[in-house]
């Protein structure tokens, strides 16, 4: 059975939940998926492919996601890789394809990633922190779309299964 690592970095839990949805969709489509925080992955032994993601803050992935990719670049380059970001606090990610942030695009090129998807983000209306609370007052809410995430992850599973056949 194909085994996929879904590694993520999440500051407030919304991206972690997206990673869980990806893992569930991969498993539902017949692929073994292991969902783990990026900082807790020592190596990629035993994984046939990887999905790596992070929440976008000021147009950047959290440090854990960036460090994960830098630390495992050689291992990731030997496997099919997909990247995802979460962040827009509106419905734009459902309405159109959003290009990856510049830093994420550089990582995608370095890894020859097969695809990158941007999903809507989540920010609780009572978010803590000066900047987060100001943003939450303006556009807080949950803009994630589980069906959109599931569709993307299911396509990954089909791609992997087709390549293995």
Q: Give CA–CA dist 7/83, Å, rounded.
A: 10
pLDDT tens-digit profile of 63-89?
Answer: 999 999 999 999 999 999 999 999 887
β-partners of residue 34 are 5
User: In this predicted model, which residue has the larger pLDDT, 136 or 13?
Assistant: 13
What does the pLDDT read at residue 11? 79
What does the pLDDT read at residue 92? 86
Q: Rounded mean pLDDT of 46-52? A: 98
The confidence band for 13, taking pLDDT boundaries of 50, 70 and 90, is: confident
Residue 128 CB-density burial (10 A; 0-12 exposed, 13-18 middle, 19+ buried):
exposed
Question: Is pLDDT of 12 > 90?
Answer: no
pLDDT tens-digit profile of 88-132?
Answer: 878 888 889 999 999 999 999 999 999 999 999 876 666 567 555
Fold of the 3-164 domain: Rossmann fold (3.40.50)
Q: What is the DSSP letter of 13?
A: S
Question: Is pLDDT of 135 > 60?
Answer: no
Tokens of 2: 């194909």
Mean model confidence pLDDT for the chain: 90
């Amino acid at each position: 059975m194909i085994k996929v690592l879904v590694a993520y970095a999440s500051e407030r839990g919304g991206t972690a939940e997206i990673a869980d949805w990806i893992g569930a969709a991969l498993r539902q489509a017949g692929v073994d998926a292991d969902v783990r925080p990026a900082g807790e992955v020592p190596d990629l032994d035993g994984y046939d492919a990887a999905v790596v993601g992070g929440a976008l803050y000021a147009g950047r992935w959290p440090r854990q996601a960036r460090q994960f990719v830098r630390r495992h670049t050689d291992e990731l380059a030997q496997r099919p890789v997909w990247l995802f970001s979460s962040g827009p606090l509106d419905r734009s990610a459902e309405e159109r394809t959003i290009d990856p942030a510049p830093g994420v695009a550089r990582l995608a090129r370095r890894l020859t990633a097969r695809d990158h998807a941007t999903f809507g983000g989540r920010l609780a209306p009572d978010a803590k922190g000066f900047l987060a609370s100001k943003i939450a007052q303006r556009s807080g809410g949950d803009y994630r779309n589980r069906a959109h995430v599931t569709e993307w992850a299911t396509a990954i599973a089909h791609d992997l299964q087709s390549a293995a056949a």
